[in-house]
Chains A and B, each alone.
Chain A
Amino acid sequence: MEGEKKDSPPAPPLKLLGSWSSSYTHRVQLGLKLKGLSFEYFEEDLTNKSLSLLQHNPIHKKVPVLLHHDRPIVESFIILQYIDDVWTDRLPLFPHHDPYELSLVRFWSHFIDDKLGPAVGAVFRLTGEEQKAAVEEVHGHLQLIEDELREGHFKGRAFFGGDGIGALDIVVGCGSYWLPVLEEVAEVKLVDPERFPLFHAWLSAFEDLDDVKGIMPAPDRLLEYAGGVRQFFLTQGK
């Protein structure tokens, strides 16, 4: 919680500036949780950004921002790599032992932010024929992930990270839990269990984990938020 009481112990070295509805924030919260790292959390009002946020991320002015001994680290994927680089004695988030697998984790994480994320955003924003085209694009991207799960390097695993989740699960997962919410609010079918059985199974298993349940906002809160944003886009008449 924000604010410091008098005579309290010294502030923890880790502080996180985030937003409850931001999947990028959730990535970092989940990463910190898996590493067993405690931190002080500050909720940002993204419509009225704090001085702290603007000072610590002047280039992009976005959440999440991790402060470690008051030094900022920004960009969720960079933050995940940072905490893994610092706390090497704890559960690794990345497969450091295998440079090739590590390159795949980076590649697919990049793909999520570069392609899948924006395509899902488009489904959310658009209507009619344009939305149909965006849905097709999302399906195309999900098919690539499905193929990777079925035939690629991660074939046969419970999660991308192996028996437990790793960085790629965090990146794909924190974001993918929006998909069922968007399906309801935008009235589209995105994660068809028949077309994408492995992805669907992976997502269910991910959402079932206690660590993930502890991070994810309540479904009805996500639904309410998504509903509001969808209404906004619809009334914009775009």
Chain B
Amino acid sequence: MTGVKLLDFWASPFGLRVRISLAEKGVEYEYKEENLAEKSELLVSANPVYKKIPVLIHDGKPVCESLIIVQYIDEAWSDKGPALLPKDPYERAQARFWADFVDKKMYDCGTRIWKSKGEAKEEAKKEFIDNMKLLETVLGDKPFFGGDVFGYLDISLIPFACWFYSYETEGSFSIEEACPKISEWVKRCKERESVSKSLPDPHKVHEFLLFLKKRFGIE
């Protein structure tokens, strides 16, 4: 099997990181939408440890875990497109640290905003805003987290932008009000084709969220 195949789910922020990276590098690939309620044999055999998307299959060899895939794309196609990770080792370490922070924090408290109620919901909301404000200090006055160039940390966080409307609606708050710099950064990222062509409609994401809530019996 040659070529590049991506096993993914349209609303997954983790899958979006990979789609954006492949677009940045100009790599052609076959997209396969996975039904997460009924995982395909291919997914289970390509990622037997976690059985999760995204999985990038390059010439028959599977690469799993979104941030690992993004780094793989940068290294395997180092001669194509822009470098996704910073060249400077210290900046690289910082980018890795904050991407790891996004991984550990954003998805978790975002999910808790819509899954929980009452005090737990308020706590999740507060944590989400606090984490975003922290990321704002990391961004500072730079156009992108990568500085002048859009890079690894931008790619790690921007996919969550299509979930912002859902978090805001479920949590009754405005991310633009709480974190204006992040909102501006989102707009800047969306000017890039790799981002604007990849991110799904936030309203569609919210529809999907409402479907999930029904399925989990929430509210």
Contacts and interface: CB of A to CB of B under 8 A. Distances in A.
A219 B72 CA distance: 39
Contacts, number: 56
B209 to A, nearest CB: 26
19 contacts: A59-B101, A75-B96, A75-B100, A78-B93, A78-B100, A81-B96, A82-B89, A82-B92, A82-B93, A85-B92, A99-B72, A99-B76, A100-B63, A102-B72, A103-B72, A106-B68, A107-B63, A107-B68, A111-B49
Interface in A132-162: 144
Contacts of B134: 59
Contacts of B101: 59
B90 A144 contact: no
A85 B101 CA distance: 21
Query: Which of B49, B61, B92 counts the most A-chain CB atoms under 10 A from its CB?
Result: B49
The 9 closest A-B pairs by CB, nearest first: A85-B89, A99-B75, A99-B76, A103-B72, A82-B93, A106-B68, A103-B63, A86-B89, A73-B93
Interface of A: 59, 68, 71, 73-75, 78-79, 81-82, 85-86, 96, 99-100, 102-103, 106-107, 110-111, 144
B71 interface: yes
Given A99-B76, A100-B58, A73 B90 contact: yes
Query: Which of B58, B69, B97, B134 counts the most A-chain CB atoms under 10 A from its CB?
Result: B97
B179 to A, nearest CB: 18
Nearest to A83: B89
Nearest to B59: A100
Interface range on chain B: under 10, 10 to 19, 20 to 34, or 35 or more?
20 to 34
Interface in B66-112: 68-69, 71-72, 75-76, 89-90, 92-93, 96-97, 100-101
A107 B97 contact: no
Contacts of B186: none
A82 B90 contact: yes
Nearest to B134: A59
A111 B90 CA distance: 25
Contacts of B92: 81-82, 85
B7 to A, nearest CB: 15
A107 B65 contact: yes
A79 B96 CA distance: 10
A78 B89 CA distance: 10
B195 to A, nearest CB: 24
B76 A78 contact: no
